[in-house]
Structures are given as structure tokens and as C-alpha cells.
Structure 1
Amino acid sequence: MDVTRAAAVLAGNWLGSSTVPSRSLYPHQWSWDSAFIAIGLRHQAPERARRELRTLFAAQWPDGRVPHIVFDPGTPPEAYFPGPAFWRAGRTSGIVQPPVHARAVLAVHEAAPDRGFLATLYPKLRAWHEYLRGSRDAGGHGLAAIVHPWESGMDNSPAWDEPLARVTPSSGFVRRDLAHGTEADRPSDADYGRYVRLAADYRDSDYRDFGDFVVEDPGFNALLADGELALAEIAEELGLPSEEHRESAARIAKALQDTLWDNGFFFARDVRTGALTRQHTCAGLLPLLLPDLAVAPALLATATGPRFGLGRVHGIPSYDLTAPDFDPARYWRGPSWSNVGWLLHRALHHHGEHALATRLRTDLLTTAVATDFAEYCDPLTGAGHGTRSFSWTAALAVDLLAQPA
């Protein structure tokens, strides 16, 4: 693969201080997208990578949360719904996305060392994690809860179906996403109505109250634990104490296993009912990012088994291949996403699965080029779905190319 094609995607989506995921479908700055984008940019444009992350954290809230969208003032309001007028939070939304930022900050520094960059962002990252570990521990288990499916980054995951069922959908809004994406690839109208209802209720509580949807997500919390390990390395680089971050990561890992692990897999937990949601989704594989995970052999067996087919399909399916409602085209209900593949590539190396990691890397790169850097792909055929020239697909391809096979 020629890296210039991927670099051209990132150049085309650059706004001057941040990168949009897609010029059409996602015309603003998204939180976890920017982290993945910075990881790719660090190889060719490290100052842009640093600016990407600085721009995002400039919009951090006083309570420490990092909003999931920072709105571009130059983009027409009708280009995206729900926009800033809906959220009533100034230039941001009021919900969050998975905490991959500390890992991205560390990666950018490793590629182009800049202690000033680390010193500026370390306290911001620390405040971000403290918000999640404190204000979001709704279940009292030491796990951060999400209050909206969008906060997981995996919007219409089947794991959310049960807790979403008690939410009455909103109506009377216009979906802007369907003007830029195929309806069969996107969340349903009923799901979208529930997303809008949850967001409006949370907004109307001044972004404080836990509503009808309160879920402990294994993927979100695995990324928080991994972020704490990255924060420990950042602290050490700055000559600061690091043990508290390692202890925090260990506590989260233990809470994950004590609370969400059952029968060879990590499931989400509905805090309102206390029940695990029994859908096997790719979020349940992300605890493999933790190098000392005691249950890694069993989880790897699930990953390579018939439910996910790791090594035999394209990427990592977002949902159980054997489930009767598996859908290879609809957003997070089956398709493979490159960011999940990139995360699992790291995780496989942690656990000594180097040959499988190499196979996954090759597939991710081949599929990215073949689909013109599609947002996601069919895990069975490799066909691209969603928007094309998607920024994190391009950025993570750049990063994979920079790594040894």
C-alpha cells in the first residue's frame, strides 16, 4: 500500500486545527476519532497531531469531561443533527466518547518527543479520567457508566437493545445522516428516536442526572484502564509519580472481571436492572488490551472461534457472526471497523499472538485500500460500507504501515 493515498485522505479532511471524520457525514471534530487520527498523523505531521489533540482538549469542560463533538463554527447548522442549538452547551455536545486520548498523546510523543506537549495535556488527561472514575461510577463497582449509546462509540450495538427498550423515542426531528449515508447501513429510525430522547433528557438535567440508560460497557472501561497505563508512562516521562495510575488500571481490570465477565466473555451490564446484556459484541474483546488479563486465553478462544472468526474473516466483526440478527452492513450490528481491528492488533501482540496480529494487519491494510478507506466493511466479503475517505481508517492504515509486520 502506498501511504500517499491515506495521507491524501487526512489532508482532505483537515480543517486547519482539527480533522473531520468525513467531509459529508461527520463535518465536525469527534473525540475518539481525533485520538485515532493523531496516532496516524504523528508519523508524517507530528505538529498537526499535537494540534489535533490540543484543539480537542481546549473544549474540555470544567468538570473534566471531554465532549464527544466540538462543533466547527464554519459549518452550516443544517449540516448535522443534533447540532449545537440542540445541545445548548456552547460549541460542544454534552456527552463523551471512549477515553483513548492518553494512549494517543503518549503515541504522538513517542514518535516526536515534546515534553511541553506532555506537560500541557497530562493534567487535562488526569482530570478527564478522574471525571470518569468518579462522577460516572453509577453502579458502585469502580467502572465508568455510559449514559447514552453514542458514548460507547458503538452507537447501535445490539448490547444496547434491552436497556434502550424502556426509552420512549422522540419524534419531529430531521435526520441529516440519511442525506449522506445509505439507510440500510445506518441505525434505524426507532433507535435514532431513542438516541434523541436520551440526549434531550440528559441536556435538560444540565448534564448531571443518570437517566433511563445507564450501562457499564466493557470496551469503554478497558480503554479507560489502558489509558491509565498510558498516563503512568506519561507521568514517568515527566518525572512525576506514576503508581497511582497503575493501581487505578489494576482496579478497573479487577472490576471488569468481577462484574462483567461470564462464561468466557465480557458483557455489558445494565445498571438499572443489574443484569448483563448477553449479546457478544466486539466491545467484549477489548479487555485484551490489558497485558496482565488473567482470562486472556479464554477470551482469545472466543475471538478466534465461530462468534468472531478472527483470522478467517475481514477485521473484527462488531457482532456475533452466529447470532440470528447479525447484519454485515448495518453500522455496529455486524460490520468490521478499522479502529477495533487496530486495537485488537495491539492486544494480540500483548498476548504473544504475533502471527495472528500480522494476519490481521495485512487484512486491515488490504481492505482499507480496496474500499477507498471506507468507514466500515462487511466482515464476510470485505465490501465497504458507510462513507468513504474516512479519516480514522486512513490514519490507522498509516500507523500500521509504520510498524514492523
Structure 2
Amino acid sequence: MSAAGDRAARFLDLESAPFTSPGSRILVLRADGGLTVRLAEYERRLDECVLVRTLRVYAADGRIAPVSGVHPDRIEFAEAGVTLTFDGPAGLSLGGDARWSVELEVPGLADAGLDAGTWRPELPSAAEVSWVAAGADDLVVRGDTVRLSFAGAGLRFGIGAAGAGAFSHPAALAASASVWGDWFARCPAVRDDLADMTAFCWWVLGANIVSLPGRGLRAVVPSKIGYVGLWQWDAYFIAAGLRHGDPELAREQLELAFAFPTPDGQLPDVVHDEGILASSDDLPPGDRDNLRRAGSAIADPAAPIPLTKPPLAAWALRRLEGFVDDPAWFDDAWETVARSQEWWFAHSDLDGDGMPEYGHPYSSGLDDSPVFDAELPVASPDLAAYLIVQDELLASRASSVGEEAAASRYAARADRTLSLLERMWDDTGGYFRSSGAGTPVAAETAVSLLPLLTGRLPERLVARILNALDDPERFATLWAVPTVARHDPAFSDERMWRGPVWVNVNALLAEGLAASGHPDRARALVEQTLRLVQHGGGPHEYFNPLTGQKARTATTAFGWSAALFVDLAVQASADSPA
């Protein structure tokens, strides 16, 4: 394993970071004095996706052999001389050279038996698991538990036929090492003080690769623990980090995000195993009814509610320029982005005032933000800023290919949207206010800071935003930037979008500071964000702004946090003095 792989191994605890492999749905975690093997499925909790409830390895003297080492390519049980590794994306191989044994507790085995070397977890991605043992000299089945003893050799089990037939544990070890070796060879070079966490974040991106059935492309999911699909917004941030080491994989994320627009140009919220999520009608009936009850105050509540994500498609596409050499692909991708931009103005301006709104919190990416405590639809300054930036990028693209009329149209619309955005400023409160169904929302949140992204705010407003960022009662928490101002009644240091720090928000704010003429402050926020992830122990979904630690309910090994750490680390390393 490379130096980057060795650095990443320091973080692999089998709890916040499971043992897995690029392209695999299989996850191995600690449990009950041994390990548990689960499967990553769309919209299913891990405790519903059990392949092996517990796996325990025993040394020759009959004592449990604890895990002694975890590496990207293998788990070691030194006392028994045994290792566990992947044998392709759908199989696991367990083997050793001395006498040892293994005990597997398999759900439903008592009812199904070991029929022809199989058991049936009946999961969408694993209707059947097959297994084969080599060198076993004893096999005992009691209820749901299987115990096998070996004099060398070992056991392989896997989804479908992946566990059947002859196998070689040494060959599986070598192949797994090769997979991870190839991945870590792509890990970007960064400053020494950032190298350990960058290697771990690069591991997270590799670990979160899955194949979506029938898509023909690899998705880097937000997390194999809870988020098994390609969310549009996540794909953009993930591509921004991947471009530094694997630009083709970065392109695949955008290809998937752009592959299923509706006839009117709307991009779906999620691309997943069973299809797409583009409206409330794509949800289970119970979820659909809940969404409609919380639906728009203007749109027909009985009609499907479009579900998408904020318009950062051009932002993401521009980041791949210079990394991917495929002009025809860029032509098609920019056309998709242009159609999606038209959708926002034609179909999400629900009150017809020229400023598109979020028709549902899901489409904002900030589902639990207090701005959505208001009546829907919500006009929000972050959406205005994204639309301005996207129109300006479309104008730049159109001009570069000689489409001056289109460039002028996009630029004029950006100017109009900027004018409408400036009307959202509340001079008394000193921030941009959202409004719900036309009524101003009192909540002061990070969406009020994101208009910095335009780089076009009057300096007076920029100065007021900087004051908010410097105020300990607002956004200058010990670990900034909180997603809700600390003095706001809705502030919580733990509850998702109601106070915790998110790496993507910080990254966008840093970009906005630079665009608004404050590059030193932008660099300082980048460095602070990098320190936050290091202090918190990894690229978690979100962080407590008072302690800098993972918030209690945040997912670990989170895709966009990992990708943006890589992106910011590369940026910070380039900015550092030689």
C-alpha cells in the first residue's frame, strides 16, 4: 500500500469508517466482539440490510481473536494469523495459514438451512448469498449460527454467485491491494500538515463509489451509511474534489446528474437504483402525502411538487474545464445546464415576480433550515445568488462560442435578479431576509451570507455581512461558520441546518469572500475549515460550531465534506509560500 494508503489507514476504525471497497455495496463494521457485514441499499437503514449479523474469528486455542489492524485492503486478526479482504466488489475472502476457526451468525439461517451453500437475505441487491469453504475440517450449524474450523485455507462468501467456486485467498489479497493502490496513486499532493486528512478524504471518495444498476456509470454516493444514491447537489461538490485526482470519475458524477432532465429541463433531486426522484410522485405514498400537506401556498397542493437541488450545475461544470478534454461533451452539458436554468425562471417563480422560489425545502438542500418554518414557497437570497452566478457563467460560455445574443440575454437576466436580490436586504437587521409566501422571515441564517458569491454586492452591504461574520452573537462562533446566527431563537448547535457547520457552506462562503474583494479573509476561512475537519476527526456531514466535533446525528465519512476538504487542501497548498 502507498504512503497515502498508510495515512488513510490511521482513520479506519470500523465504526465511523467501515471496511469496504470501491464499487462494492458490502460494509464491514465492528459488532459484539467481532464484525458485522451489512449491505448499502437506497433508502434502507443498515440494520435492515444484514448479510452476516456477527462474524468472529478464533485462534487455535479457541479464544476470540480481536481485530489487530485495519487497512484499506484488509482486516487483520494477528492472534489467529487470519485476514479478511474483498474478492471482487461482491465477495469477501477470509483466510489464514495456521489452525483457526470462524463463527457466522446469519439471519434466517435456521429457517433456510445451508441449502447448496447459500442463504437468502432477500435484499434488493442481494437476494442470495453463496459461500464456499476450502480446508475446513469441521462444520457445525446451530440455529442461525455456523462454525467452521480450518487448518489453513479459508472461506469466501458473496452476493449471488460471487462466493461460489474455487478461490485463492492470497490472490484476493493481492487484487484488493491493487484496487486500493491504484486509487491512492491518484491522491492529490498537498502540504505536509494536510496530507493525513487528505489521504483519508481520498479514501472516503473511493470507499463511497457504487454502481447504479443499468446506469453504466460509477456514482460516488454521499455515504454508504444512509445515502446510497446520487444526489444532484452532492454530485457537484464531490466532482469538485475528484477532479484533482480522477477527473473522469468527476465527469461521471455530472453525467449522472445531467442524464435525466424532465421535458421542461428540471434536473432531478436524486438518481438511484430504482429510478429518479424528481417530484413528490416519485416518493412512497406516505412521504408523498406528507410533502403535499407541506406544499406550496401558491402551487396547487394536489399537484406533484417538483423536487430538485439548488442551481450550481454551471458552477460544477466550470470546475471540470481544463481537467476533462472533451469539447463535444461540454457542449451537451452546457445545453443541459441552460435548460435547467430556464426551468427555474419558467416553473419555479411561483408568484410571478421574477424571482424564483423554493417550492419545497427538499429543493434547497437545506431541508431543516428555519427559513422553511415559514409558509411555502420561500424566496431565499442563496437561490438568487446561485441563479445570478449561473446566468453569468452561461453568459461567459455563450460569448466564448460566439453566441452573443444569448450571452446578452443571460447577462441581462443576471442584472435583473441582482436588483431583486438587493431588495431582500433588511437594513435594520443587517442581513438579507428570506420570505415565505411573500412574508419576510425573521430567521437569520447562512443563506443571508451567500449573496457574497455574486461578487457584485454594493460595498456597504459587503461590509455589513463581514460585520455579521465577526460578531460572536451572530456567526463568529469558536468553529465557524454556523448555519444559523447564534442569537437567533432557532439556533441549535446540534440540529442539522439550524446551527452546525457544513463544509460546503464554508467553501461557498470562502469563494464569495474572494469574489467580493476579500481574498485574505477567504484564505483564512479555508484554513479554518481545514482545521475544523482535522479537529473533528474526519469529513463528517456537519459539525458542532461550539466544540468543532461531529454533531451527534451527523453521518460520518461524508462524500461532499471529503471532496471539498481535498479541493480546499489543494487550493491552500497552492496558496502557501514555497
Considering the TM-score relative to the shorter chain, is it more than 0.5? yes
Q: 1:267 to 1:112 in 2, by over 3 A?
A: same
Partner of residue 268, structure 1: 434
Partner of residue 119, structure 1: 331
Using the TM superposition, give the Cα deviation of residue 280 of structure 1 relative to its aligned residue in structure 2, in angstroms: 0.2
Q: 3-state DSSP class of the match of 1:145?
A: coil
8 A contact 1:159–1:277 mirrored in 2: yes
Q: 2:383 aligns with which of 211, 220, 240?
A: 220
Q: Which has the larger radius of gyration?
A: 2
Q: 3-state DSSP class of the match of 1:387?
A: coil
Instruction: Write out per-residue CA displacement over residues 68-89 of structure 1, whole angstroms, 9 at most, x where no aligned residue.
Output: 11122499xxxxx99754489x
User: Is structure 2 residue 463 aligned with structure 1 residue 297?
Assistant: yes
- Whole-angstrom CA distance in 2 between matches of 1:219 and 1:396: 19
Q: 1:156 aligns with which of 368, 373, 389?
A: 368
8 A contact 2:230–2:256 mirrored in 1: no
Give, as a single letter, the amino acid of the residue that structure 1 aligns with 2:456.
D
Partner of residue 283, structure 1: 447
Using the TM superposition, give the Cα deviation of residue 95 of structure 1 relative to its aligned residue in structure 2, in angstroms: 0.5
- Whole-angstrom CA distance in 2 between matches of 1:82 and 1:28: 18
Structure 1, 360-369 or 39-48: larger mean CA deviation:
360-369
Give, as a single letter, the amino acid of the residue that structure 2 aligns with 1:6.
C
RMSD: 2.4
Q: 3-state DSSP class of the match of 1:15?
A: strand
Instruction: Write out per-residue CA displacement over residues 299-347 of structure 1, whole angstroms, 9 at most, x where no aligned residue.
Output: 222222234334x532311101112341111101110100000000101
Q: 1:58 aligns with which of 259, 263, 266?
A: 259
Q: 3-state DSSP class of the match of 2:199?
A: helix
Q: 1:358 aligns with which of 520, 523, 529?
A: 523
Give, as a single letter, the amino acid of the residue that structure 2 aligns with 1:304.
D
Instruction: Write out per-residue CA displacement over residues 133-188 of structure 1, whole angstroms, 9 at most, x where no aligned residue.
Output: 1111122332111111111111111111132xxxxxxxxxxxxxxxxxxxxxxxxx
Give, as a single letter, the amino acid of the residue that structure 2 aligns with 1:15.
V
Q: 2:564 aligns with which of 390, 393, 396?
A: 396
- Whole-angstrom CA distance in 2 between matches of 1:341 and 1:42: 19
- Report matched runs for 1:248-263 at 5 Å: 248-259=413-424, 261-263=426-428
Using the TM superposition, give the Cα deviation of residue 11 of structure 1 relative to its aligned residue in structure 2, in angstroms: 0.8
Instruction: Write out per-residue CA displacement over residues 23-77 of structure 1, whole angstroms, 9 at most, x where no aligned residue.
Output: 11211111111011111111111111111101111111111111111122499xx
Partner of residue 193, structure 1: none
Q: 1:401 to 1:113 in 2, by over 3 A?
A: farther
Q: 2:509 aligns with which of 329, 344, 366?
A: 344
8 A contact 1:148–1:214 mirrored in 2: yes
- Whole-angstrom CA distance in 1 between matches of 2:207 and 2:242: 13
Give, as a single letter, the amino acid of the residue that structure 2 aligns with 1:41.
L
Q: 3-state DSSP class of the match of 1:60?
A: coil
By percentage of residues, which structure has more helix?
1
Partner of residue 132, structure 1: 344
Partner of residue 39, structure 1: 240
Q: 1:260 to 1:160 in 2, by over 3 A?
A: farther
8 A contact 1:147–1:215 mirrored in 2: yes
Q: 3-state DSSP class of the match of 1:137?
A: coil
Partner of residue 483, structure 2: 318
Using the TM superposition, give the Cα deviation of residue 223 of structure 1 relative to its aligned residue in structure 2, in angstroms: 1.1
Q: Which runs of 5+ in 2 are unaligned?
A: 1-193, 212-217, 289-304
8 A contact 1:315–1:337 mirrored in 2: no
8 A contact 1:119–1:238 mirrored in 2: no
Q: Higher relative contact order at CA 8 Å, sep ≥6: structure 1 or structure 2?
A: 1
Q: 1:238 aligns with which of 401, 405, 411?
A: 401
- Whole-angstrom CA distance in 2 between matches of 1:59 and 1:240: 26
Partner of residue 210, structure 1: none
Q: 3-state DSSP class of the match of 1:95?
A: coil
- Whole-angstrom CA distance in 1 between matches of 2:530 and 2:484: 21
Using the TM superposition, give the Cα deviation of residue 358 of structure 1 relative to its aligned residue in structure 2, in angstroms: 1.8
- Whole-angstrom CA distance in 1 between matches of 2:319 and 2:399: 14
Identity of aligned residues (%): 31
Q: 3-state DSSP class of the match of 2:565?
A: helix
Q: 1:143 to 1:224 in 2, by over 3 A?
A: same
Using the TM superposition, give the Cα deviation of residue 257 of structure 1 relative to its aligned residue in structure 2, in angstroms: 1.1
Q: 3-state DSSP class of the match of 1:323?
A: coil
8 A contact 1:265–1:284 mirrored in 2: yes
Give, as a single letter, the amino acid of the residue that structure 1 aligns with 2:321.
H
Q: Which runs of 5+ in 1 are unaligned?
A: 76-80, 164-212
8 A contact 2:504–2:560 mirrored in 1: yes
Structure 1, 50-59 or 298-307: larger mean CA deviation:
298-307
- Whole-angstrom CA distance in 1 between matches of 2:561 and 2:331: 29
- Whole-angstrom CA distance in 2 between matches of 1:27 and 1:83: 16
Q: 2:228 aligns with which of 21, 27, 36?
A: 27
- Report matched runs for 1:150-229 at 5 Å: 150-163=362-375, 213-229=376-392
Instruction: Write out per-residue CA displacement over residues 121-141 of structure 1, whole angstroms, 9 at most, x where no aligned residue.
Output: 111111100010111112233
- Whole-angstrom CA distance in 2 between matches of 1:355 and 1:300: 13
Q: 1:326 to 1:150 in 2, by over 3 A?
A: same
Partner of residue 380, structure 1: 546
Give, as a single letter, the amino acid of the residue that structure 2 aligns with 1:126.
A
Q: 1:380 to 1:33 in 2, by over 3 A?
A: same
Structure 1, 111-120 or 280-289: larger mean CA deviation:
111-120
8 A contact 1:219–1:286 mirrored in 2: yes
Q: TM-score, normalised by structure 2?
A: 0.57
